[in-house]
Each structure stands twice: as structure tokens, then as C-alpha cells.
Amino acid sequence: MLDRIKACLPSLAPAEQRVGKLVLADPRAFAKLPVTELAHRAHVSKPTVVRFCRSVGYDGLSDFKLKLVGSVSEGVPFIHRSVDADDKTSDIAVKVIDNSVAAFLKYRNDASSFALDHAAQALATAQKTNRRIEFYGAGNSGIVAQDAQHKFFRLGVNAIAYSDGHMQVMSASMLQPGDCAVIISNSGRTRDLMDACDIARKQGATTIVITASGSPLASAGHIHLTADHPEGYDKYSPMVSRLLHLLIIDILATTVALRIGEALQPALRDMKKNLSSKRYT
């Protein structure tokens, strides 16, 4: 988070730069002080403090402070720990686990609650009006799409997942306004997924993309849910990025389930009852 602020400083207005420098000078103090005191110390107005928070990618001062506290608190460092060829099994386990935990904590601090809320609202509306929700992914992301379909169909959602490029294009061609297409990609550069996203959008469906910042897919959808991690997608199958995608799907499924509310409970009880015979007692 502090690295992001440093990178953004040159592009900010002079008054907002003073707020940014105040953050970098003492992040913990900034998170505790009221807006009046922050404005006084930075020699700016209170609205400028709020504008700064939005300029660097957060929903407002409260959201910025919450993420700032998490970013500077003690815990797993936000670093990418590569596994070495001569590592012992115990070393590999620690590095893989630490890398995953660090990515989750970083996402917790950086995630846009506005984008998540926007996506959840679109999905909940599609469920309420019995519209279609489709999940598209290729390769590793195709498995995430299947996991998403599994989670959402239990909520009474008319959901399906496709990992074949031809099926994605054909199905996207039949979408209509009110439907949702969720496109999942680690690289954000897969042509089949880009084609499906463009077609779904032209058909009037709401397109939600889960992918890396700065990729072609990131700007192709209506709603972008950022999933950034320094993995070389062109060298090996993504591990941590896949976990981030699954985490985002879990957040969306939980949020949509809560918006459906008590109406969901009878179906879930019946499902649990009917599945009980499938298990040994």
C-alpha cells in the first residue's frame, strides 16, 4: 500500500501530494488521527484529504485508514518467496504457505469494496429475476469457473461454467440484458476469454472480470475485480493467483447468499437432508 502511494505521488495535485507525504512519514499516526487534524498537518482542506484517498484507489478516508492499518500491522511480510532447487521439504512448505497467506492479507488490504459490492449486486439481481449467470475460464481458471458454478447453483442461481472457447462464444451469444458473465483469467490475455467477454457485453449482459490489473481483459468488462500477484503466468501453472480467484468467488457467493436472505434457508435444509444418506454415520 505504501509502495502504491509512492508510485502515485508524482501524478497527484500538489495539495494531495502533501497528504501522501504525511501518510508516508508516519502511517500509524495517520490511521489514528481525525480528518480535521490530518488536514491541519498537511495544510490542506478536509475534502482534499478525502480526494487523496480516492485518487490512490480507495473508496474514501474510512476505507483508506482500514487498509492502511492492515498494511502496516505486524504479520506475514508482503513478499514473493521463491522456492529454490535445494530447499528441503520443510522449507518448501513454509515458503508456499507464507506466500499464500501474504497474498491473502495483501488482497484484504487492497481490495476495492466498491467493486465487490457492485459485482455482488449484479449477481444478486440476476438471481432474483431468474436470469442466467455464466462463468468462463480457460485452463487453470476453468477449474475456478467450475468451483464458482458449484457454489452459486446451491444458492438457487441459474449458473453454468464453460472452459471450452467455442462453448463460451456460443453461450455468450445467447445472453441477454439482466444476465451476468463472470470471466476469470490469471493473465487477462487469453483470446477466447476476451472474445467471450466482448460478445457478452454486446448482448447487453453485465460482464464481471476477475483478472490482473493492466491486462486487456481488465478494461474489457463492466466490473473489474483485481487479482494481482507476481506470478509468471507464461512459465508455470499459477498457484497463488488461483487461490486469490477462489477467494474472490467465495466473497461473492457469501455476499449474494446474505442478500437472498431467509428465502434460501428451506432449500439449503432440504439439500442437507437429502445429502445425509450419502454419508456413513
- Secondary structure, 3-state, 210-264: EECCCCCHHHCCCEEEECCCCCCCCCCCCCHHHHHHHHHHHHHHHHHHHHHHHHH
Beta-carbon count within 10 A of 199 CB: 20
pLDDT of residue 76: 41
Question: Could you give the C-alpha distances from 57 to 1, 5, 60, 109, 236, in angstroms and in order?
Answer: 10, 9, 9, 12, 30
Query: In 3D, which of 196, 87, 80 has the Cα closest to residue 138?
Result: 196
In this prediction, the residues of the chain whose per-residue pLDDT falls under 50 are 74-81, 235
Element (H, E) at 46: helix 46-55
pLDDT of residue 56: 87
pTM (2 decimals)?
Answer: 0.69
Whether 278 is in a domain gets the answer no
Whether 18 is in a domain gets the answer yes
**Are both 31 and 167 inside the same structural domain?**
no
pLDDT of residue 266: 82
pLDDT of residue 73: 58
pLDDT of residue 82: 59
Whether 42 is in a domain gets the answer yes
Question: Which 3 state secondary structure label does DSSP give 135?
Answer: strand
Whether 259 is in a domain gets the answer yes
**Are both 255 and 202 inside the same structural domain?**
yes
CATH code, domain carrying 39: 1.10.10.10
**Are both 47 and 128 inside the same structural domain?**
no
**Are both 54 and 135 inside the same structural domain?**
no
Domain that includes residue 89, residue range: 75-110
**Are both 91 and 65 inside the same structural domain?**
no
Whether 273 is in a domain gets the answer no
Classify residue 10 by its DSSP letter. G
Residue pair 124/263 in contact (Cβ under 8 Å)? The answer is no
**Are both 106 and 136 inside the same structural domain?**
no
**Are both 90 and 193 inside the same structural domain?**
no
pLDDT tens by residue, 236-257: 556 888 899 999 999 999 999 9
pLDDT of residue 126: 95
Beta-carbon count within 10 A of 251 CB: 16
**Are both 88 and 60 inside the same structural domain?**
no
Contacts of 76 (CB under 8 A, 6+ apart): 98, 101, 102, 105
**Are both 189 and 133 inside the same structural domain?**
yes
* Grid cell in block for residue 45: 482542506
Beta bridge partners of residue 184, listed in sequence order: 137, 210
pLDDT of residue 74: 45
Query: In 3D, which of 125, 131, 228 has the Cα closest to residue 176?
Result: 131
**Are both 10 and 90 inside the same structural domain?**
no
pLDDT tens by residue, 24-74: 888 888 988 999 999 999 999 999 999 999 888 888 898 888 888 877 654
CATH code, domain carrying 185: 3.40.50.10490
**Are both 89 and 44 inside the same structural domain?**
no
Whether 275 is in a domain gets the answer no
**Are both 106 and 117 inside the same structural domain?**
no
Report the interhelical angle of 46-55 vs 35-42 (nearest 10°). 90
Q: How many domains does the chain have?
A: 3
